[in-house]
Structures are given as structure tokens and as C-alpha cells.
Structure 1
């Protein structure tokens, strides 16, 4: 099989990536460095904040010591309906597109084993958790008739439209064990197995100034397909400071990813239009979480989690592409910071829940060379929200306990705004990274940058049984 290395071209002192590599950078952070966090409807209603509360299989998503808190067996399944809308605005126009996806979002189970001895060890519990989420993401950017490109054969076209399309999934399967020591100290450990699937394209439409016809172009090295699997481990502890206060801490090792890629390439001097395959090894960041919980009574509980990334994404180096990706993350990546707050209030068999989560922007300010909207020039511009930005999430939910059986429902709203670089692709005698049709090509020495508003509205329904 033919193997090719993906190259990166520097375009400014702060930021060096082609449009193709914008996708690689986005996926490295948004997919491979971000663990699936879809739990039960209760977990999602509380914004995923349960690091010092624990008590069910979703503890494996934050702090495996929470398995030790459980005092009865439990199994649950969660249906998810996820809606992802991107509205991309450029040159005075906007285009919005929504992707809806229904799936099995989470399955969890805990088996409790009470130790019938006089030892201080009260329970040894085993948990299994499966979390699955769609990573579909479609961004369509309107065109700009002022942005005109000249073809090598003498024709000219204006920029008509651009589409970035990603679909696939990310899943995490965890198994773990938790222990209860004297009902005051809880210890846990887990093993996590990841799977990912990405199919992605990057296309642009250009409108001929000669006859008004439209032509589709694909970015060099697209469409591409990635199939990945990864592994990580986690350790955790929860301690009771008093009957009403708990604190927790957890550490999750980097995820060690093995990623198989295949992609199309065009206009190669030897192979012409063909496809290539390659393998990449990626190590995602090491993460630490600290938690605190206040349990006023059996009717009210509040939990706060804070997660910090301790390292940065790093690719195993096979050539210049991985070296320059690593240089980019070393220079521009900011360690993950995430705050989650969740609360639950019980009224007899009813449960009322709510939560808020904030995730920081993953990058420092980045500078790119960009076209202005009038299409008559380009200049460097710095962005503090390029490619990805911080996210805010609000959630709430309800539940009803039928003694052994229960049903929970929740709603989650996640919003983010960021600047979206597109269209860059230089073509010269040494390197070709532009946009290709069967007979023509486009070379673009600067980015067009749109403003994207991302809104996710997710619904979850959980059915569970305690035994």
C-alpha cells in the first residue's frame, strides 16, 4: 500500500496549518482528547458532576472511587437524542444547519458485594459503564462574490460556498472496582477502552465569472477516514470529612490512541489521483479531577468537580507532519480546564436536578493571514477563538423512583462561538495543498474566516433497576 506523510506549511509566526490540518487539530482536541461524557439522565442533568457523590456506574466517567459508595446493585440504560446546530456567518450572510441523532447513549451496571466480616472494609463493588456519543458536525459557510480566484487556464471564479462535514462516533467502555472502608473512605480504579470513527470531507464551490456555472472542489488529502482505538486507566479516592461533607480526587492517565487513516490525494506527479493509508499514534492529555460534595440531608445534595489537563496532546513522530503538529500543541495549546456543578433535590419519590458546566478554550490567541470581505487584500489577524472556543452547558432533569425501578429524563443545552478558518491551500512547484476538481484547481494563499455559533440541544431518557 502507498504511504504518504501529511505536511504542514507555516503561514505566520503563531499559527502554521493548512485547512486540512485545521481539521486534524480540531479532531485532536475535540475528539481524541475529549472523553465521551454521556451518562445516565441523572448524570447529564447534573452536568456530569458526581466526583465526590458517586454511587453508580457513571462514577467511572469521573471518579472510580464512587463505585465504593454503592450499597445495592443497579443496572440502567439511557436513550439519547442529540441535536447539533452550526450557524456560520461570513461576508454579511449566514447559513445554519442542524444534525439530529438518536442512539443508545449509556449503559451502566454495578454489582455490590457486602463483606460479612468484622473488618473495616464494608463493600467491594464492581462496575461496568458504556458511554457513546455522536461526533457529527456540519459547518456550511456562505460564499463571497468579491473573493475571486484565477485558474491556471485563464478562467476566473468567485467563492460560492464551503462545507466542512464530519460524521461518526466516539465511545468509552470502562470496567472498575470500588471499595468502602468503614463508610468513611472510598477507593477505586478503572480501565477505559475507547473507539472512534471519523469520516470527513472538506469541499468548496466556485462560480465561473465567464458562464455562471458552479464547480465542486475537494481539498487535497480529503475526504479522509479515521478509525481509532485507545486505552487509559483511572484511580480515585473519596473521603468523608463529616456526615455532610465529602471530598474526592481522581487521576486519569493519557489515552494512548492508535489511529488508522486513509485519504484521497490529487495531481501527484507519479500516482495522479489516488488514495493513501497511514497509521498514527497519539497520546492525549493526563487529567486530574478534584471534587467536593455537600449532602444537607437525604433530600438535597450538591457536587462540584474541577478537572485540569496536566499534559498536552502528542503524536509519535514518523515525519515532519507529526513534528510540526507537536510543535503547534507545545506552543499554542492551553491545558484543559473544566468546572461542573450539579445538584439534586428529592421530594418523596420525585427527583429534581440541575447543573452547569464550563470548559475553557483550548488555544492561546492564534494569528492567520486572512482575506478581507471586500476581496481586495489580505492581512494578518489575531483571534482568541480560532478553531475552537470555550463552552457553556446548562442542564436540568426530573426523575421518579418506583422503589426497585426508576425513570429519569433530562435536557442539556451546550453553546459555543468560535472563528472558523477555511479555504487556505497553496499550490506551487514543491507542494500542493489546494482544492481540486477533475480538471481544475484553486490556490488560496490566505484563509477566509467565518464566525460560527454552535448550539447543542440534547435529551436523555433512562430506565433503571436497583436490586
Structure 2
């Protein structure tokens, strides 16, 4: 398959795929993957405490709290389940999909250097691990009025183009397979299924996504008189995303010209990026600490590839036109590049310790608040692209407007605590994220709840932590853009993730 040029691709890109790119802005901005078992167990509420490898990804001032060097590794195992309900056919049981995947929370090294000045410690740290996981699978099946063919027809008419100039990833494939036609030979198209027909068609889809974002953090932090801790970290991100979607329709009665449709989409996105994190912790008194942190947008250079395939059967001019699934109509391969900028992140934290250093029982309580303006995500043409056109810029502007019209600022609240009984550590926490969507859908609250717990053991030179997190959230999904109330294939999805994480560390 030949490569498809950037400017031609942008000029005919369908609104459905533009919606996919704008939804990537949310996906690529998420940073919810825990980095250590201890940080996960307390719900991530360590912003004012520090002395944990997760500080390099959160509040880098926490690196300055270390008074000794440390190496740790935090592998994890994730169990994901998504239950989906096709809302137009809610009498059917919910489909359920499970996914098992390995996650590396982090592997890192801290080198603590004690000083003889008012700067008591100047510490260096480096860590690498996963900050976002895209691994999930979901599916739906049900019967409703409407069809993706109606969507193809409307997109073709909106393009006002002859068949050779139709979008080669959707409408042109539908035209080649006889699902849409231009009887007059011009730019007016009709489909083998029309909205006014209100025929019931069986629909199903499987979505399988994989990949994630890994980040290398290089940090430096200082401890001033054991009162003020400041730090910064440079983050280098590596993104890898694969999105496979297989959509099918079938007319169950046999009374229509339309018989069946199969449409597959395969997208891969790879990229690298860079960001800066700055933070401070101030020790108000012996017990109380407050923390502030700020993350700049991650500037990412992305390369995306897209392929689509279409097959099926339809009666056209009294002849059955059938395209085998083994020899489908295939699009060209689109390869294009753009820059992406994630939102700013601002966090305020507070922590309170209790018990003395020599007390048999002591502990910590923390609360963190974080704000992320997802509407501030944006795409841009790459400055090095000498072939970019005004049409390319218009497409980027349309995507950015879609982001602004779809998303809003979201808040994360993290609370957690730890009790130390001699060498034993007991921990629990909770994290809540508000909806990132500007408009709410009835029956879908888009909140995310993370409930966490864990334990650990601390010795002078070695420590071990084991934790579990259970995440719950709802989301809506549609396989294609709804063209009317009769052609609106909405699904309601409930996602539950269970994550076990272990941290093994050594101090020296």
C-alpha cells in the first residue's frame, strides 16, 4: 500500500476520524499510572511528604527529603474488565471483556549528597517507568435502527466530491463495495440504507487498544535547613499506542438489499516528548508540611499511521455484490506527523506526621489536590514541515476547536495515610477525578474512583512494599458519529481495573 501525503490526507479527513484525534488529546494527557507500591497504597497523597521514587513524577521537591541513597524497582500486574451496554438494545446482557497486562511502575536510583552548608542535602535522582497505560478491550452487540452506511452517505455528500476524490479511508471504500452510489454520475450520493427506512440492523464491534507512555525522569533537589525543600525534574516521554477496531453490521430479515458490512480500522501512534516539573515543600513546624508543584505541558512529536479495510454484501442493480473478508477493499496507508501539547498541571498538597522517630507507632496523613485543564491540550503542525498548506492548518484548527468544545478542567483529590508499627507499614488511600467532559451524558458520570491499600516492611538497608488499587469509572462510546436520533449507536461502559504492585528497594 502506498503512502498517503499529509496535505491530501488532511484535506479529506472525515469528521469521525477528526473526533478520534481530538479524543486522543484526553488519552495522551492522562497520568494516572502509579509509580511505586507505597505511592499507590496511599492514593498518591505524597506531595508534601516525599522520600519516595514517585516524587520524581509528581512533586520533585520530595527528592530532597531523602537522607540516604536508594535503588528500587516496582513491577505490577494489571487486570482490566470493561462491561458494555448497547443503549438502543438494553434488553441484551452487557458484554464483558477482560485484559491482563504487565506494568513497570518504575525503576530508579537516588544519590543523596550531604552538605556542610545551610543546604543540608543536594540529591540527584533518575527513574524510568510507565505513567499511562492504554491496555483495554471492550465490545458491544445489539440491534437498532440506523447504519454506518447512512454515516458514509452523509459524509460523501458533505464532501461534494466525485468518487475518485472521496475520503479513501471510509467513503471511497463504501463506494467501491456498492454500499453508496451516485446514480446521476455526479456528487449526489444515496446509500443502500437510508435514515427514513428505520430498518433494524444487528451491530457489533470489538475495540482493542494497547501501549502506553513511559517516562525517563532526571531530577535534582535541595534541602535548605531542613525547612525548605525545592526540586525539579526533566521528563522525557515515549508514547506507543495501537488502536484496532472491528465493526460489523448485518440485516437479520433478508428483506433488504443491504446484507452485511465489516469495517476495520487500525491506527498506530508513536512519539517522544519533553516536559519540566518544578516543586517545593515547606516544613511549617515539626508535624505539618505543605507542598506545591507544577508540570509544564509535555511537548510531543507524534507520527501516526492509519489503515482501513471494508468488506460485505449488498444487492445492487439486482445483482449480489459481495466482497470477501479475506480480500477486502483496502485504503492506502496514511502516515502523517504533528506536534501535541498536553495541559499544564498544578498541585497543592498538605501532610501531617505523628509520632516521634523512636516511637513504636508513628504515621502520616496526606491530602493532595490537582488541577488539569484538558481543554488546554492542542495540536500543531511541525515547524520543520515545509509542505504544510493552509488546508493543513485549517484542519489542525478544527481539531483544537473540537478539544475546546469537548473538554474542561478536571480536579483530582488524593487522600491517604500510613501507620508504622516498628518495621511494619500499613497504608490506605483514595483518589477521585472529576469529569473531563464539558457536556455530561445522562447515565454516565465520567468520574473515576481509585481505592487503594497495601503494606510494607522497612529494615535499615532493604524494604519491601505490596499494594493493590481498584479503579472504577464509566464512559460513553459510539463506533461512529451519530447522524440522527434514529442512527445513534451509543454504548455505556463500566471499566474496573485491579492493579497489584510490588516495590523492592535497597538503601546505601
2:424 is matched with which residue?
350
Q: Which has the larger radius of gyration?
A: 2
1:263 maps to 2:306: yes
Assess, with a 3 A threshold, how the Cα gap between structure 1 residues 416 and 214 changes in structure 2: closer, same or farther: farther
2:234 is matched with which residue?
191
Q: Note the alpha carbon deviations across 1:426-451, whole angstroms, 9 max, x for none.
A: 7xxxxxxxxxxxxxxxx998431111
1:304 is matched with which residue?
367
The whole-number CA distance in structure 2 between the counterparts of 1:401 and 1:38 is: 20
Assess, with a 3 A threshold, how the Cα gap between structure 1 residues 214 and 343 changes in structure 2: closer, same or farther: farther
> Contact (CA 8 Å) 2:145, 2:487: kept in 1 or not?
no
CA RMSD of aligned residues (A): 2.7
The whole-number CA distance in structure 1 between the counterparts of 2:301 and 2:287 is: 44
1:12 is matched with which residue?
none
1:27 is matched with which residue?
24
**Residue in structure 2 matching 1:205, options 245, 248, 270:** 248
Structure 1 residue 320: Cα displacement:
3.2
**Residue in structure 1 matching 2:477, options 396, 420, 443:** 420
Q: Which moved further from structure 2: 205-214 or 258-267?
A: 205-214
Q: Secondary structure at the match of 1:263?
A: strand
1:392 maps to 2:449: yes
2:458 is matched with which residue?
401
**Residue in structure 2 matching 1:218, options 257, 263, 273:** 263
Mapping 1:40-439, distance limit 5 Å: 40-90=36-86, 91-92=89-90, 93=92, 94-115=94-115, 117=116, 119-132=117-130, 133-144=132-143, 151-152=179-180, 158-209=201-252, 215=260, 217-218=262-263, 222-265=265-308, 273-297=331-355, 298=357, 299-309=362-372, 312-317=376-381, 318-365=392-439, 383=441, 389-424=446-481
The whole-number CA distance in structure 1 between the counterparts of 2:29 and 2:263 is: 27
Q: Normalising by the residue count of structure 1, what TM-score does the alignment of the two structures yield?
A: 0.83
Q: Note the alpha carbon deviations across 1:397-439, whole angstroms, 9 max, x for none.
A: 001123311111000001011222223387xxxxxxxxxxxxx
Q: Note the alpha carbon deviations across 1:88-130, whole angstroms, 9 max, x for none.
A: 0111221010111023321122110001x2x211000011122
The whole-number CA distance in structure 2 between the counterparts of 1:411 and 1:390 is: 20
The whole-number CA distance in structure 2 between the counterparts of 1:365 and 1:385 is: 12
Assess, with a 3 A threshold, how the Cα gap between structure 1 residues 59 and 179 changes in structure 2: closer, same or farther: same
> Contact (CA 8 Å) 2:4, 2:332: kept in 1 or not?
no
The whole-number CA distance in structure 2 between the counterparts of 1:251 and 1:154 is: 54
Q: Which structure 1 residue ranges, 4+ long, deviate > 4 Å from structure 2?
A: 6-9, 145-157, 210-216
> Contact (CA 8 Å) 2:235, 2:276: kept in 1 or not?
yes
> Contact (CA 8 Å) 2:53, 2:108: kept in 1 or not?
yes
The whole-number CA distance in structure 1 between the counterparts of 2:65 and 2:192 is: 72
The whole-number CA distance in structure 1 between the counterparts of 2:80 and 2:259 is: 29
The whole-number CA distance in structure 1 between the counterparts of 2:378 and 2:10 is: 17
The whole-number CA distance in structure 1 between the counterparts of 2:61 and 2:443 is: 36
The whole-number CA distance in structure 2 between the counterparts of 1:419 and 1:189 is: 38
Contiguous gaps of at least 5 residues in structure 2: 150-178, 181-190, 194-198, 311-328, 382-391
The whole-number CA distance in structure 1 between the counterparts of 2:482 and 2:488 is: 8
The whole-number CA distance in structure 1 between the counterparts of 2:108 and 2:215 is: 12
Assess, with a 3 A threshold, how the Cα gap between structure 1 residues 444 and 172 changes in structure 2: closer, same or farther: farther
Assess, with a 3 A threshold, how the Cα gap between structure 1 residues 145 and 309 changes in structure 2: closer, same or farther: closer
> Contact (CA 8 Å) 1:157, 1:206: kept in 2 or not?
no
Structure 1 residue 214: Cα displacement:
8.2
Contiguous gaps of at least 5 residues in structure 1: 10-16, 367-382, 427-442
Q: Note the alpha carbon deviations across 1:177-211, whole angstroms, 9 max, x for none.
A: 11000000001011001111111122211224466
The whole-number CA distance in structure 2 between the counterparts of 1:201 and 1:157 is: 26
Assess, with a 3 A threshold, how the Cα gap between structure 1 residues 203 and 272 changes in structure 2: closer, same or farther: closer
Q: Greater share of helix residues, 1 or 2?
A: 2
The whole-number CA distance in structure 2 between the counterparts of 1:123 and 1:295 is: 21
The whole-number CA distance in structure 1 between the counterparts of 2:400 and 2:443 is: 20
Q: Secondary structure at the match of 1:199?
A: strand
The whole-number CA distance in structure 2 between the counterparts of 1:454 and 1:416 is: 5
Q: Greater share of strand residues, 1 or 2?
A: 1
1:2 is matched with which residue?
4
Q: Note the alpha carbon deviations across 1:282-320, whole angstroms, 9 max, x for none.
A: 111011111100011251101111111257101115333
The whole-number CA distance in structure 1 between the counterparts of 2:68 and 2:250 is: 65
**Residue in structure 2 matching 1:453, options 494, 502, 508:** 494
The whole-number CA distance in structure 1 between the counterparts of 2:442 and 2:345 is: 24
Q: Normalising by the residue count of structure 2, what TM-score does the alignment of the two structures yield?
A: 0.76
Assess, with a 3 A threshold, how the Cα gap between structure 1 residues 162 and 263 changes in structure 2: closer, same or farther: same
1:376 is matched with which residue?
none
Structure 1 residue 8: Cα displacement:
6.6
Q: Note the alpha carbon deviations across 1:225-274, whole angstroms, 9 max, x for none.
A: 1101111001111101000000010111000011101112569xxx9731
